[in-house]
């Protein structure tokens, strides 16, 4: 909605029709548009991007129905520029979508951190694909990266969504490796692993035990 339309809306007390959250159908429709645009603009090229957080929860875990945005990462600035430009073009044709429904805010938190250069290859090797087309592949971020961030956030804010996300991410790792994860090993993962302490482990284990009947992390 343009600034002029917003002024008119405020004068006549009209509500902004844009969504504040998006669901699986919204995300998929937007990514399909982006895929077509990329294929037309860069035929034969495949754009690999990584996502974490709410998008993974909505598309894979299904422990929530909606998220506020799709926050993407790639170490390649050209990939981000093209994908985000396509996302903006989708907004022009679908003015009910949030203006920042797809963004790369996560890049500011990842670039320069220990392990950031391995996030994309680790995510590709993990091979959890959330969306795939001839021109665009969207991977779930390395579970190890996601877990250390979610454990910290869940502990700090005691938010039900973050706790649920942390439990599901941990379960992916437990299922993948066939064993509990060790806290000492988690502490070596990416930049924030070292910040996790026994209290974080106990906090997440309590929620994990409620969901799966056992602890997901061992000291």
pLDDT grade, residue 17 (50/70/90)? confident
pLDDT tens string 36-46: 999 999 999 99
Torsion of CA 205, 210, 215, 219, to 10 degrees: 20
Q: What residues contact 13, with CB distance under 8 A and at least 6 apart?
A: none
φ and ψ of 2, to 5 deg: -70, 165
- Range of the structural domain that residue 185 is part of: 144-218
Say if residue 83 is in the same domain as residue 72: yes
Average of per-residue pLDDT across 129-154: 98
Q: Are residues 150 and 137 both part of a single domain?
A: no
pLDDT score recorded for residue 112: 81
Tokens read off for 55: 């998008």
Condensed to tens digits (0 to 9), the pLDDT of residues 153-170 reads: 999 999 999 999 999 999
Proportion of the chain above pLDDT 70, given as a percent: 93
- 12 pLDDT band (50/70/90 cuts)? low
149 and 61 within one domain: no
Last-in-domain residue among 141, 166, 197? 141
Q: Are residues 57 and 130 in the same domain?
A: yes
Q: Which two tokens stand for residue 6?
A: 């917003």
Do 61 and 135 lie in one domain? The reply is yes
Domain final residue, candidates 119, 141, 163: 141
With vertex at residue 93, the alpha carbon angle to CA 18 and CA 21, rounded to the nearest 5 degrees, is 30
Q: Which of 141, 169, 202 is where one domain is finished?
A: 141
User: Are 198 and 92 in a shared domain?
Assistant: no
Tokens 């990842």 identify what position? 110
Same domain for 94 and 177? no
Total tally of structural domains belonging to the chain: 2
């Amino acid at each position: 909605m343009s600034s002029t339309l917003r002024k008119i809306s405020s004068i006549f007390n009209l509500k902004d029709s844009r969504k504040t959250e998006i669901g699986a159908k919204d995300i998929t429709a937007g990514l399909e548009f982006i895929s077509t645009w990329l294929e037309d603009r860069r035929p034969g090229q495949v754009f690999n991007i990584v996502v974490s957080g709410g998008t993974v929860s909505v598309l894979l875990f299904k422990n929530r129905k909606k998220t506020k945005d799709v926050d993407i990462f790639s170490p390649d600035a050209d990939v981000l520029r093209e994908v985000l430009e396509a996302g903006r073009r989708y907004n022009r044709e679908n003015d009910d979508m949030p203006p920042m429904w797809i963004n790369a805010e996560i890049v500011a938190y990842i670039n320069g951190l220990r392990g950031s250069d391995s996030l994309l290859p680790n995510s590709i090797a993990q091979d959890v694909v959330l969306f795939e087309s001839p021109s665009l592949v969207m991977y779930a971020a390395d579970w190890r990266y996601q877990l250390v961030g979610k454990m910290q956030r869940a502990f700090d804010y005691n938010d039900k969504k973050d706790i649920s996300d942390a439990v599901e991410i941990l379960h992916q790792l437990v299922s993948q490796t066939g064993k509990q994860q060790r806290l000492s090993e988690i502490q070596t993962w990416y930049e924030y692993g070292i910040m996790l302490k026994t209290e974080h482990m106990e906090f997440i284990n309590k929620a994990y035990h409620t969901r799966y009947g056992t602890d997901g992390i061992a000291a």
